[in-house]
Amino acid sequence: MYQYPNHYQPYPQQYPYGPYSYYYQQPPIQSNNSAYSQEYIRQQQDAFSRVWNAIKSEVEPLFKRFQEYNIDRRFLRFLFRQVVQFLIVTQDQYTGSINQRVNQAYNALRNQLSWLFNVLQTYNLPVREFEKAIKDLIRLVLSNLDYQPEKDWSEWEDLGGVLTSGPTASSWARNRIDVFVRGRNRQLYHKWWDGTKWNDWEGLGGTLTSAPAAVSWGNNRIDVFARGTNQQLIHKYWNGSIWSGWEDLGGTLTSSPAVSSRGENRLDVFVRGSNKRLYQKVWDGTRWGDWIDLGGELTSAPAAISWGENRVDVFARGQDRELYHKYWDGRQWSGWDSLGGTLTSSPSVASWGANRLDVFVKGTDEHIYTINWDKNKWSEWERIGDSVTSEPAAVSWGKGRIDLFAKGPKDQLLHKWKE
């Protein structure tokens, strides 16, 4: 998933950071591994992504320290990433206390990545300042080499069932989760966590030709959508007492729907149309509006979320299999923005706070990957789960809490969570 620069090729002859471009011609990080197999490269990329995400907030003061000497931030980021990758590859060479390991790594860097030091020294940094900053970076990396985002997540829990689609999940109260799937007979099935235990599966009828989508806009209220037998959008809801029948909302869907709610009795449904473009249908509290063409060229079902009043974020896979994102800011829709990755499923998204997004996808190795928006920037991609056989589904019922669902190898519902 992680789009890492190809360090295993010579650097270009020209580089846009001044007269020291020739230093980029130096050989990349070397390893005792004689053949860079795909698995070896993937492991290195995963390790880099985990470490960089663990230290990136703490690296910020180092950026500012170096920028006092008018060093370009993009150039610094490149150099810092070189240091991180070097330490990942050579970490087994350092022994002793953390101070001893830092000094050993610093000397190894000076010997094997001398071009890096030659470039930085042209900026007339005081020697002590220069050495302290590099050692601070080394210390950060060595202290986080064992960081594993998987450790923040529970193990997978088997919730049974026989799924013929990916799941969807919604939450209408703290510590309450409702999960919906398409069953073996193409009917909608429902399983819920009541705060204490998981309840048995219940059949809710219908004839679904896609995975369902669900959202809650109020206490004890759930709206569920799916594609029907005529490729149309169908809808049913729980009002706190009973389930409604299925309602036909028309349209021509070529994907599962997605739904979000940006306010009480307000729904935004998104689908991929017959021309692969994104379409939106809005419930304004009184009636359903017409279909709205939002463009794009989707190769998956969309995912949608609202983290604030009059804010909607939509995600989908593009023609190049990367993750694409667009949003409604209360006045207009943004354009599509690529967030990279290589997706083999539709995305799913959850939000546990204002201006906070966590997106989940299945990668080329069938594992789940995530990328998050933390109010200011997007993170790097991280791998968090074992192999699954469907797109993931994510939901949050409290600050910092995410529950993740997917179809397992026996077509059962799998569940894991993060506090």
The two tokens of residue 172 are 């209408």
Is the pLDDT higher at 4 or at 248? Answer: 248
Q: How far is CA 270 from CA 174, 277, 293, 313, in A?
A: 26, 10, 10, 11
Task: Tell me if 17 sits within 8 A of 73, measured CB to CB.
Answer: no
Q: What is the mean pLDDT of residues 375-382?
A: 89
Tokens 């998050």 map to which residue? Answer: 372
The burial of 209, by beta-carbon neighbours within 10 Å (0-12 exposed, 13-18 middle, 19 or more buried), is given as middle
> Taking Cα atoms as reference points, which of 193, 181, 170 lies closest to residue 304?
170
pLDDT per residue over 152-197, tens digit each? 789 999 999 999 999 999 999 999 999 999 999 999 999 999 999 9
pLDDT per residue over 106-121, tens digit each? 999 889 888 877 887 7
Cα gap 7→5, rounded to integer Å:
6
Give the model's pLDDT for residue 40: 66
Whether the pLDDT of residue 399 is over 70: the answer is: yes
Least confident residue range of 114-128, 300-314, 319-333: 114-128
Task: Tell me if 275 sits within 8 A of 253, measured CB to CB.
Answer: no
Give the model's pLDDT for residue 383: 87
Give the model's pLDDT for residue 39: 66
Give the model's pLDDT for residue 19: 30
Task: Render the burial of 322-351: b for 16+ CB within 10 Å, e for the rest.
Answer: ebbbbbbeeeebeebeebbbbbbbbbbbbb
Cα gap 327→155, rounded to integer Å:
33
The two tokens of residue 49 are 């992504």
Residue 200's pLDDT band (cuts 50, 70, 90): very high
The two tokens of residue 233 are 């959008």
Whether the pLDDT of residue 149 is over 80: the answer is: no
Cα gap 211→409, rounded to integer Å:
17
Whether the pLDDT of residue 396 is over 90: the answer is: yes
pLDDT per residue over 7-61, tens digit each? 333 233 333 333 333 333 333 334 444 444 666 667 777 788 888 877 877 788 8
Tokens 């990279």 map to which residue? Answer: 340
Q: What is the mean pLDDT of the chain?
A: 87
Residue 73's pLDDT band (cuts 50, 70, 90): confident
Which of 78-82, 89-93, 140-144, 327-331 has the largest mean confidence? 327-331
> Taking Cα atoms as reference points, which of 183, 182, 200 lies closest to residue 191?
200
The two tokens of residue 170 are 């919604």
Q: What is the mean pLDDT of residues 285-309?
A: 97
